[in-house]
Amino acid sequence: MTQDQEIICERRGAAGYVLLNRPKALNALSHGMVRELARALDAWENDPAVTRIVVTASGEKAFCAGGDIRALHDLGKAGRQDEMLAFWREEYILNARIQSYPKPFLSLIDGIVMGGGVGISLHGRYRVAGERYLFAMPEVSIGFFPDVGATYALPRLPDAAGVYLALTGDRVGQGDALALGLVTHAVPSARMAELAEALTGSEPVDAILAAFVQPVAPGKLFGEREAIAAIFGAPTLAEVLARLEARAAAGEAFATKALATIRAKSPTSVAIAFEQMRRGATLDFAGAMALEFRVVSRIAYDHDFYEGVRAVVIDKDQAPVWQPASIEAVDPASVEAHFTPLGASELVLGGQA
């Protein structure tokens, strides 16, 4: 596919209109797509004819299921970590660009939104979900970590829900996403195309959205919000696990499932993700992205990332052999090392010293 086919960026009426166009790959982000979207945002920022950005996706399954992890894995296995890190650097700069973009930025999300797809949607001013919306940051399943701005966004969700999502990779539907603030509006899937067309007009964005929104009830996570807050609000990962184990021993189904889920993930990734959530709560967005680039610059050389992608994406045997094999065996110093400064290689965003 050519870059133009993977993503289409064009002006439609008053909108800078973006179509993610890799439906067979669940619209996974390639390096070319990141660059093309960044180029379009630069052009549209100073174009007076463009008053809002509208991001949509081809196909009904996914808005964007993440970055092209297989391609990144293959680069790393070939010793080309510099190319992997070039992708992540540009992706993180794009995430920050969207977060601070001066014009209304709308994502119309009706399907799976994970990883890189979260990065190009969650930080915009408007996130509109259809019934097929399905959010997750499941990176700990592949020896990675919740990046693309999750360091900033997840710790700010209510009731420690972001910590829960980072450590378990659990999926969130339309109703829970609205309740948590992951999305700003809920719209019927059947009206998404109509909404996209309406947004190309000159009427104010809020007025257009108001004509399409529908009330939705929260989903399964809402019912567990008190347990999530009590468990995942713990100050240390060891205490989270202790609280889960105590509740599981008492027969609590939610805790039993969450504990088993976390124990199956990369122990190193779980430890990194918890520390990431702890630090992210006090960082501004630029600081969060700089932290993520420090972590990813180390993970690009870690065993568990390649083993996780092998087990989940390539061989699909779902039987990763993590090193180390348990959270208790993870060396705190090795976790801390992922967060240390990079010197001349630091990610520096506009406005940072």
- To the query of whether residue 116 is one of the catalytic residues in this protein, the response is yes
- pLDDT of 4 reads 54
Length reported for the chain: 353
Bridge partners (DSSP) of residue 135 are 113, 172
In a domain, 284, yes or no: yes
Structure tokens given for 99: 């977060």
Ordered per-residue pLDDT tens for the chain, 353 residues: 444 589 999 999 999 999 999 999 999 999 999 999 999 999 999 999 999 999 999 999 999 999 989 999 999 999 999 999 999 999 999 999 999 999 999 999 999 999 999 999 999 999 999 999 999 999 999 999 999 999 999 999 999 999 999 999 999 999 999 999 999 999 999 999 999 999 999 999 999 999 999 999 999 999 999 999 999 999 999 999 999 999 999 999 999 999 999 999 999 999 999 999 999 999 999 999 999 999 999 999 999 999 999 999 999 999 999 999 999 999 999 999 999 999 999 999 975 53
- pLDDT of 36 reads 97
8 Å CB contact between 186 and 215: yes
In a domain, 49, yes or no: yes
- pLDDT of 2 reads 47
Residue pLDDT, tens place only, 173-221:
999 999 999 999 999 999 999 999 999 999 999 999 999 999 999 999 9
- Residue among 6, 147, 224, 292 flagged as catalytic: 147
8 Å CB contact between 51 and 125: no
> pTM score, two decimals?
0.96
- To the query of whether residue 67 is one of the catalytic residues in this protein, the response is yes
In a domain, 173, yes or no: yes
- Residue among 116, 130, 149, 308 flagged as catalytic: 116
The 10 Å CB-count burial string (b at 16+, else e) for 265-277 is: bbbbbbbbbbbbb
Q: Specify the long-range contacts of residues 69-75, CB closer than 8 Å, at least 24 apart.
A: 69/28, 69/115, 69/142, 69/144, 69/309, 69/313, 70/309, 70/313, 70/314, 71/30, 73/305, 73/306, 73/309, 73/310, 73/313, 73/314
Greatest distance between any 2 Cα atoms in the chain = 61
In a domain, 353, yes or no: no
Domain span at residue 83 reads 3-345
CATH of residue 181:
3.90.226.10
In a domain, 351, yes or no: no
Name the domain count of the chain: 1
Distance separating alpha carbons of residues 322 and 319, to the nearest angstrom: 9
Cβ-based neighbour number of residue 184 at 10 Å: 17
- Residue among 67, 117, 162, 280 flagged as catalytic: 67
Instruction: Give the residue carrying structure tokens 């293959």.
Output: 74
- pLDDT of 350 reads 72
8 Å CB contact between 49 and 42: no
Tell me the backbone φ, ψ of residue 23, rounded to 5 degrees: -60, -35
In a domain, 130, yes or no: yes
Structure tokens given for 282: 């006090």
- Residue among 36, 68, 91, 139 flagged as catalytic: 139
Distance separating alpha carbons of residues 32 and 6, to the nearest angstrom: 8
**Residue 10: helix, strand or coil by DSSP?**
strand
**Residue 216: which region, alpha, beta or left (left: phi > 0; alpha: psi -120 to 50)?**
beta
Tell me the backbone φ, ψ of residue 79, rounded to 5 degrees: 75, 20
In a domain, 30, yes or no: yes
CA torsion angle for 81, 86, 92, 93 (degrees, to 10)?
A: 160
In a domain, 90, yes or no: yes
- To the query of whether residue 181 is one of the catalytic residues in this protein, the response is no
**Residue 79: which region, alpha, beta or left (left: phi > 0; alpha: psi -120 to 50)?**
left
